[in-house]
Amino acid sequence: MESKRIDWIRELLAVIGRMIRAFRVVHIYAEGSFGFDDPADTGVLYGYLSPLVYAGTGLPDVTLDLRPDFERAGLRGNLDALLEVTPIFLLLPAMNVGWRVIRARYA
C-alpha cells in the first residue's frame, strides 16, 4: 500500500515538473508585510526570504518588497503578476495522465 502511494506521489511530481515549462513569467511585483504569532517564526522566514528580496531572484522583471511585521500576525500587501501559458505543454502531460488512469483502471 505504501509503495503505491509513493509511486503515485512520484508520478504527480513528475507531471507537475513537465507542466511547469508551460508557464513563463512575464513580470511579478509583490510588496507587503508578513508576520506570525511568534516573532521568532517571523524572523526565521524573513531570514529565508532576505536573499530573494535584497539580492534578487535572478529572474527578469521580478520585484519583491517584503517586510517582516513582528507585532501582528498575517499577510498584507499587493501582488501583480503576469504569466504566459503555452497550452500544448499542458495538454500532453494531461493526456499522459489520463492514459495511465484508464490503463490502471481497466488492467
Return phi, psi of residue 87, to 5°.
-60, -35
- pLDDT band at 5; cut points 50, 70, 90: low
Tens digit of each residue's pLDDT (9 = 90 or more) over 48-105: 988 877 776 667 788 888 899 999 999 999 999 999 998 888 888 888 877 877 877 7
Q: Read off the C-alpha cell for 79.
A: 501582488
pTM: 0.57
pLDDT digits (tens, 9 = 90+) for 6-65: 677 787 788 888 888 888 888 999 999 999 999 999 999 999 988 877 776 667 788 888
